[in-house]
Amino acid sequence: MEHDEVTVLAVGAGPANLALAVALEELAPDVAEDTLIVEQYDNVVWQRGMLLPWAQSQVSFLKDLVTLRNPRSEFSFVNYLHAVQRLDDFINLGSFTPYRLEVSGYLAWVAEHLRRVRIDYGRRCVGVEPLRDENGEVDRWSVTFADGRRVVCRTLVLGAGRDAHIPAEFAALARERVIHSTEYAQRVGDLDRSGAHRIVVVGGAQSAAEMLWAAHQHFPRATCTMVMRSIGLNCYESSKFTNELFYPSFVDRFHEARPEAREQLLREMHRTNYSGLAPATLDALYREMYLQRLTGEQNIRMVTMSEVADAAMDGDEVVLSLADRRTGGSSQLRCDVVMLGTGFVRGMPRFVRDLAASVGVGEATVNREYRMNLPPHVTAACYLQGVNESTHGIADSLLSVLAARSQEIVADLLTHSHGRTSDRPTAALAAR
């Protein structure tokens, strides 16, 4: 079977691996020359499913791919704005949080301007296999793609994100009747814009609220209903004291904490990232519903303290069985399409679990530098990005820590490849 061989193979051309690519080019150019990123799509797009024209990032532009590691880097967000002649406009906007379209454009610009790291598009990974040398040690990985080709590497970096969470209750529904937030932008065009659709959005956080608002705008004759377990929509918890827990420096403190302390931190920080809405989204929804009650023309409604106990097809209709958490009662809600703002699976992605199983590891875990803990007979390395919240904190899947994390991975990669045992970045690398 035809295959390529590289030193480092990174799966996914999202922010995590692009930050790593820039760090390799700036800190380890020799390794960068033999690094390949593979991306299943034909281009780089950030939050592809929810790339709505009015949606903003919730993270400061200074927390880009490089600034917290190297403020002088040519790959900063500010330099991107300068290069595309939008710096004056952004400054005049007076906001620390760019639109998602701008962040997506920035990431595509970085990908286009890499000089040493290569990106191959349209290559979807379907499997990984450990390769053994003459002593029986696993010294390389063989990654297979949908087109049948392979890439063999010494170091594998998995940064393709987490698996979408589609609750089992919706398994019986026809595929065309269920849209997860990760695919909203691509699939919403399949519905007749002038149709009087009955749309149900499941979830009570930012992605669900954005789908509700986007569907309301896109389908003027539709009725949009939001079903949530909570008593109502809430703002993100975003005090400046709480936000200090998103500092890259807090990763050390979190990692060193006792397991029960980590659990408490994650519970208390849940509303900083998962169970809340941006103030602007919350205000826009409330004002729209207020005006609808004022005019008597309501096509947005919310069903609170309820969860979907079952979902089935009844001819051409979707029938949702709702359990009322307040009264203990049950009811049915009929609709045409269900949109899921149900987030992502909290456990390791299937691709990671398969890799771990292939070398006899029951549960995939990583060390402080994000390198997977593997048996002694495995000398090939694997790094996991964006899936280590339980050990590295709630910022692990966010932009906030990318610049610092990429430096830590590069330092560990160089240390590991030379057979040293240090688990912290070398002083020489950190000073570059």
> How far is Cα 260 from Cα 133, in angstroms, rounded to an integer?
41
Pairing of strands 330-335, 317-324: antiparallel
**431: pLDDT strictly greater than 70:** no
Residue 276's pLDDT is 85
Average pLDDT, integer, range 26-47: 96
What would the two tokens of residue 287 be?
């004002």
Buried b vs exposed e over 374-387: b needs ≥16 C-beta within 10 Å? beeebbbbbbbbbb
**145: pLDDT strictly greater than 60:** yes
Q: Which fold has domain 168-236+276-340?
A: FAD/NAD(P)-binding domain (3.50.50)
CA end-to-end span of the chain, whole Å? 41
Residue 418's pLDDT is 57
Residue 424's pLDDT is 44
Q: Where does the pLDDT of residue 41 fall: very low under 50, low under 70, confident under 90, or very high at 90 and above?
A: very high
Please give the residue that has the higher pLDDT: either 190 or 425: 190
Average pLDDT, integer, range 273-295: 92
Average pLDDT, integer, range 262-291: 89
What would the two tokens of residue 272 be?
């900083």
Question: What ranges do the domains of the chain cover?
Answer: 3-163+345-430, 168-236+276-340
Q: Where does the pLDDT of residue 73 fall: very low under 50, low under 70, confident under 90, or very high at 90 and above?
A: very high
**3: pLDDT strictly greater than 80:** no
Q: Give the rounded percent of residues in the chain with a pLDDT score beyond 90.
A: 85
Q: Residues 385-420: pLDDT tens digits?
A: 999 999 999 999 999 999 999 999 999 999 987 544
Residue 272's pLDDT is 81
Mean pLDDT for the chain?
A: 92
pTM of the model: 0.92
Rounded alpha-carbon distances, angstroms, from residue 207 to 9, 95, 120, 261? 31, 21, 30, 28
Fold match between domain 3-163+345-430 and domain 168-236+276-340: yes
Average pLDDT, integer, range 273-283: 88
Q: Residues 285-338: pLDDT tens digits?
A: 999 999 999 999 899 999 999 999 999 999 999 999 999 999 999 999 999 999
Q: Which fold has domain 3-163+345-430?
A: FAD/NAD(P)-binding domain (3.50.50)
**60: pLDDT strictly greater than 90:** yes
Q: Where does the pLDDT of residue 429 fall: very low under 50, low under 70, confident under 90, or very high at 90 and above?
A: low
16 near 386, Cβ under 8 Å? yes
Among the ranges given (9-13, 243-247, 377-381), the one the predictor scored with the smallest mean pLDDT: 243-247
Residue 225's pLDDT is 97
Q: Residues 148-193: pLDDT tens digits?
A: 999 999 999 999 889 999 999 999 999 999 999 999 999 999 999 9
Average pLDDT, integer, range 222-232: 95
Q: Residues 363-389: pLDDT tens digits?
A: 999 999 999 999 999 999 999 999 999
Q: Which amino acid, 328?
A: G
